[in-house]
Amino acid sequence: MTPTLNCPECQAVVQDYEAFCQSCGARLSPTAAPPTQAAASADPPSSQTRRLVERASQATLCLRCGGRVDADGYCGQCGAKAPSERDHFEAAPADWVAGVCDRGQAHAVNEDAMALWADADRAVLVVCDGVSSSSDSARAALAAAEAALGTLGNAVSTPESDLDAAFAAAASHANLAVLEASGSQPDNPPASTIAIATVTADGVRFGGVGDSRVYWLGPQPRCLTADDSVAAELIGQGVPREVAEESPQAHAITRWLGQGTPGADPRVGRFQPDGPGWLLVCSDGLWNYASSAEELAELVASLGGDDPAALARQLVKWANQRGGHDNITAALARVRP
């Protein structure tokens, strides 16, 4: 039995392999190799999550004009820079679960990330949004999403597991992944949001840190998650949503994954679908253009179809047509209770 270790800064309990305190983010001196990282990043049993390396041949056609992309990475027709595998990727682990993660128009780097797993009737959807002040955020967000997926994928596919505990563990592993991704800029460490949804036999679970969201777009549309943001705090104080979301600091998040977070534990909730509908996990690059669940439900209805991959692509395209001012991620699960 090893003695309990405490963070020298905040006195929280820390592990001997941790390089950072998961509570306050303070730098620690690990005395053991990290045992959890391998488990956290391992694919869940029947994972169909497409890893970035497998997408090497994906971008051979230009996303702007459909022309052929030359070996130099630019379209041979319109000259558009072909997105790197990190700039635009899609995943469709099952015919009812799919997502698209896209750089958008205005940002040079895609700091959003997405990781999906699904089988015939269970799914895990994770979306992360790296905070764009650090050059490590793109890497951190992807590592966080995949770490969370690894943990929850294992839990969801293991009968009798405690999913509420798995959500907490997933967020903790994601937080660790963000902390460990702060390589190139020690003075400017990366940070990320996370939004997670699971679909299992006993319904939908959701949770998050920051302002990425989980929506239910069914008979009675609603936003399931509560933002950790200044706007959400204003709304909590009674300011109307439209006013709060337009306020100058609206997008400042009050909790995040990464160094110095006031808390990285997700607020987990459960939900029983009230009919057929879409479960949407997205970053603010999408919901900035349609914040209320009603608007999003109308949008999804107007786009039509029941293919989640096509719908996710259309949602991303729609946000890009509105300016694509931020990275855009939309992950969907078609739910029929």
Q: In this structure, what token pair is assigned to residue 37?
A: 């990282």
323 binds another protein (CB under 8 A): yes
Tokens of 29: 């001196």
Task: By CB under 8 A, name the one of 11, 12, 19, 81 that touches another protein.
Answer: 81
Report the residue number, 72 or 202, with the smaller CB distance to another protein.
72
Does 77 interact with another protein (rule: CB under 8 A)?
yes
> For another protein, what does the binding mask look like between residues 22 and 61, x meaning CB under 8 A?
----------------------------------------
CB 256 within 8 A of CB 209: yes
Gap between the Cα atoms of 50 and 308, Å rounded: 16
One residue of 7, 28, 59, 75 binding another protein per CB under 8 A: 75
Fill in the per-residue mask, 170 to 199: x = in contact with another protein (CB under 8 A), - = not in contact.
------------------------------
| Closest to 48 measured CA to CA, from 2, 11, 98, 85 | 98
| Position 84 contacts another protein (CB under 8 A) | no
66 scored as a contact of another protein (CB under 8 A): no
Q: How far is CA 13 from CA 7, 34, 266, 279, in A?
A: 6, 16, 18, 36
> Cα(96)–Cα(89) distance, rounded to whole angstroms?
18
Q: Using alpha carbons, select from 255, 319, 240, 233 the residue that is nearest to residue 283.
A: 319
Counting residues that bind another protein (by CB under 8 A) gives 19
Residues 12, 38, 65, 243: which binds another protein (CB under 8 A)? 65
- Residue located via tokens 């956290």: 40
Window contacting another protein (CB under 8 A); options: 106-114, 119-127, 223-231, 290-298: 106-114
Integer angstrom CA distances of residue 22 from 26, 291, 312: 8, 31, 33
Judged by CB under 8 A, does residue 78 bind another protein? Answer: yes
- In a 3-state reduction of DSSP, which class is residue 205? strand
Residues forming contacts to another protein in the complex (CB under 8 A) are 65, 67, 70, 72, 74-81, 104-108, 323-324
